[in-house]
A and B are shown apart, each in its own frame.
Chain A
């Protein structure tokens, strides 16, 4: 899947407030939250962009 868009979750704390909104809405269950970090499974993610909309603070970008 070389031509997938790039998804970036800013979870260093600059924007992300670790609220878990993206984790709970992800239809493929491929976003993970531990206490200080949010990650996603690059291979499973289809770039549906739902998490981008669900994030209340704009910490998830896609391009």
Chain B
């Protein structure tokens, strides 16, 4: 029986959202313990490894050796493989880096450790400690030994399969139309173009897309997300991905050297992410962008707010839900509108036929959009295929 621990802030999970939360809490003067159930921060990877870059400076992340390469843009392929190219000029840095997540996650954990965070590996939360309905820490297990960590503020950053949030009494359940089942191969000897991240829409990936994120020298992450509500049979993500690869000679000739999978939430924002003594952040809080499936930026942006509020709460001694609502309001002000808008767009896009996708991409491929936004896209489509935009009246 190990001795129990005390800390101002306990962060459960050492992914990007956890490390950012921990770092910002420590920088604001709190004592912080971050626990990670695995033996290595960043591994195994569960990610396509593409991310935008305009947000990094705001949250204090400096580009480092985790940057694999910088792309010029993204190419969206319709089912008949008409192409719409999005570049930085009109996408506002929505595209950016292809990264090594193992290195990225480690860099963020190093930044947290350098800010004073204590990091413990092989340490899993096995339950939450509650007193009078308030979360006061967690029961943890390290190297087979169980002990209590008492914390003024406890933070769940335990990813898509989050248990901690549910233990704390926050509903993180999502509908099957709000989740993608994903699989990805890292492939070598493929014909990816290092200038672009590629996305393939339509029935090749029902309710989701196939992605190709280049890593240079003929290496690329080739993956798929399929909306769970559209899955008909077992192993469908793998079957669709294998079929896509087989149909594309530039990829069929490649060799697989790695395989990762995972669930991605594509839901509207949760109603609640804080309770007395407790906050939820990142994928665990369903902060993933429902349109792109990207979770890193939002997790880090919310993590900075979460860590700052956690330190303030620990220092003032007020760790009530009412105080922690500052985090709830903070992340919503920054992210909620876009999350909700993209969720609505996702709800619509997941119902479109291949023929409609073809028309939309065909219309967009033929024009030069000054700025990429829903209004401009719909206007361009309306000019060529007015019947298509009828389906999108809600967005106009």
Instruction: Tell me the A residues contacting B by CB distance below 8 Å.
Output: 17-25, 27, 29, 32-35, 50, 52-58, 60-61
Contacts and interface: CB of A to CB of B under 8 A. Distances in A.
Which of B163, B182, B235, B236 has the most C-beta atoms of chain A within 10 angstroms of its own C-beta?
Answer: B235
A58 B238 contact: yes
Contact of A53 (B124, B166, B228): B228
Contact of B181 (A18, A32, A54, A61): A54
B161 interface: yes
Interface string B215-244: 000000000000010010011111000000
Contacts of B237: 56-57
A53 B234 CA distance: 6
Contact of A19 (B38, B163, B166, B262): B262
Interface residues of B, number: 31
Contacts of A24: 159-162, 179, 263, 265
Contacts of B23: none
B176 A21 contact: no
Contacts of B37: 34-35
A25 B162 CA distance: 10
B173 interface: yes
Interface in B148-193: 159-163, 166, 173-174, 176, 179, 181-183
Contacts of B259: 17
Contact of B263 (A19, A32, A35, A60): A19
Contacts, number: 84
Contacts of B181: 21, 53-56
A29 B173 CA distance: 9
B44 A55 contact: no
Contacts of A54: 176, 179, 181, 228, 231, 263
Contacts of A20: 46, 159-161, 262-263
A40 to B, nearest CB: 13
B124 to A, nearest CB: 7
Given A24-B263, A25-B263, A35-B37, A55 B160 contact: no
Nearest to A48: B176
B161 A56 contact: no
6 closest pairs, A vs B, by CB? A58-B235, A21-B263, A56-B237, A20-B161, A19-B261, A23-B161
A57 B226 CA distance: 12
A55 B182 CA distance: 9
Nearest to B237: A56
A62 to B, nearest CB: 9
Which of A50, A52, A55 has the most C-beta atoms of chain B within 10 angstroms of its own C-beta?
Answer: A55
B260 interface: yes
Given A35-B37, A56-B238, A57-B238, 9 more contacts: A19-B46, A25-B228, A27-B173, A35-B38, A53-B176, A53-B236, A54-B181, A55-B235, A56-B236
